[in-house]
């Protein structure tokens, strides 16, 4: 319990410490000078692609829910995703946004465990695609990496994900633990866990679902690379696309680690590490990281507006 209470302050310290260390040497007017070069059309394309990413993420979520017999309109899930993105920006971790998504779907389906399973599967499939893309892009652009040893980051990540996925498929072992552990005296938790396992079974029975979900996840990861490239174009950075193809997946892995607040500090350090290696001035690399946070904040604010405007109806929408 004490460790959990310390988690958020430690994340704040990591983010604050890295931000202070990275930005202390750069004058504010230098950032303003770079920001003033921001062009409209690449930025507009960036926002359009962000919405596309949200929409395909919602499509993946819809596929997972359908496998469990939960039918919710794509538009409703897209709105829920936007609200979740808003909460992710302002809460100490992604758990806040995911918790809202679970709650929002459970309002309609009355099946909290299955809603939780869909969000968890959505997250895991996204991470699988990310580590695969990072490994593939890293191998393809090995000579561009500052250090070839960083290829171990996605490899270790993949090993961990396979371990988690493999463990979730060991139904007999998990059910045996549920029947013989102290959880048998907690019927609510035990029932929730069993329903969660039922959802995993539904996913296992649909191999085409697995293929579609991964396909959407790969499209999302490649679109993230294009997003960052468009943002760099908007800032008038003259950097070839293949550098983003190699570097951005590694940045995405680093900022997803649960050791900072919304990746602040970690993201900035990663951009500085990779892009200064290919000759981009540090102030430009840090401005790219800062611009990403600013424009994402603007985009995520639409989720806050949706949250305020959505009717708190508990009736199930027409699928």
* Per-residue pLDDT in tens (0 to 9) along the chain, 319 residues: 455 556 777 777 888 888 888 888 787 878 788 878 888 899 999 999 999 999 999 999 999 999 888 899 999 999 999 999 998 877 655 567 888 999 998 888 888 888 888 888 898 889 999 999 999 999 999 999 999 899 999 989 888 888 777 766 666 666 666 666 666 666 666 666 666 767 777 777 777 888 899 999 999 999 999 999 999 999 999 899 999 999 999 999 998 887 877 788 899 999 999 999 998 999 999 999 999 989 999 999 999 999 988 755 444 444 4
Distance separating alpha carbons of residues 234 and 294, to the nearest angstrom: 14
- In the chain, domain spans: 30-309
Please enumerate, as own/partner, the contacts of 149-156 that have beta carbons within 8 Å and a separation of 24 or more: 150/250, 153/250, 153/253, 153/254, 154/130, 154/249, 154/250, 154/253, 155/131
Q: Minimal CA–CA distance to 214: which of 151, 161, 139, 160?
A: 161
* pTM, entire model: 0.86
Evaluated on CA atoms 117, 7, 153, 20, the torsion sign reads positive
Token pair in block for residue 137: 């892009």
Q: Minimal CA–CA distance to 83: which of 317, 305, 312, 295?
A: 305
Distance separating alpha carbons of residues 169 and 203, to the nearest angstrom: 10
């Amino acid at each position: 319990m004490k460790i959990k209470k310390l988690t958020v302050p430690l994340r704040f310290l990591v983010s604050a410490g890295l931000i202070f260390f990275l930005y202390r040497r750069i004058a504010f007017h230098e950032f303003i000078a770079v920001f003033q070069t921001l062009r409209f059309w690449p930025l507009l394309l960036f926002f359009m692609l962000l919405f596309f990413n949200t929409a395909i993420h919602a499509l993946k979520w819809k596929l997972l829910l359908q496998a469990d017999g939960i039918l919710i309109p794509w538009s409703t899930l897209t709105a829920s995703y936007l609200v979740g993105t808003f909460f992710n920006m302002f809460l100490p971790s992604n758990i806040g946004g995911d918790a809202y998504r679970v709650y929002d779907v459970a309002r309609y389906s009355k099946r909290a465990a299955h809603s939780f399973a869909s969000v968890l599967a959505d997250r895991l499939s996204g991470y699988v695609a990310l580590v695969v893309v990072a490994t593939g892009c890293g191998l393809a652009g090995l000579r561009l990496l500052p250090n070839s040893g960083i290829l171990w980051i996605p490899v270790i990540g993949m090993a961990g994900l396979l371990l988690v996925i493999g463990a979730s498929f060991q139904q007999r072992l998990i059910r045996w633990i549920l029947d013989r552990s102290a959880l048998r005296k907690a019927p609510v938790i035990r029932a929730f866990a069993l329903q969660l396992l039922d959802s995993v079974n539904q996913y296992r029975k649909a191999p085409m679902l697995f293929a579609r979900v991964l396909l959407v996840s790969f499209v999302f990861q490649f679109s993230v690379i294009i997003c960052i490239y468009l943002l760099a174009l908007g800032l008038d950075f003259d950097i070839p696309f293949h550098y983003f193809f190699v570097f951005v997946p590694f940045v995405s892995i680093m900022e997803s680690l649960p050791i900072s607040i919304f990746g602040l500090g970690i993201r900035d350090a990663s951009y500085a590490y990779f892009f200064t290696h290919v000759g981009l001035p540090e102030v430009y690399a840090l401005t790219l990281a800062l611009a990403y946070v600013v424009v994402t904040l603007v985009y995520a604010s639409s989720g806050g507006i949706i949250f305020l405007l959505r009717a708190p109806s508990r009736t199930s929408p027409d699928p």
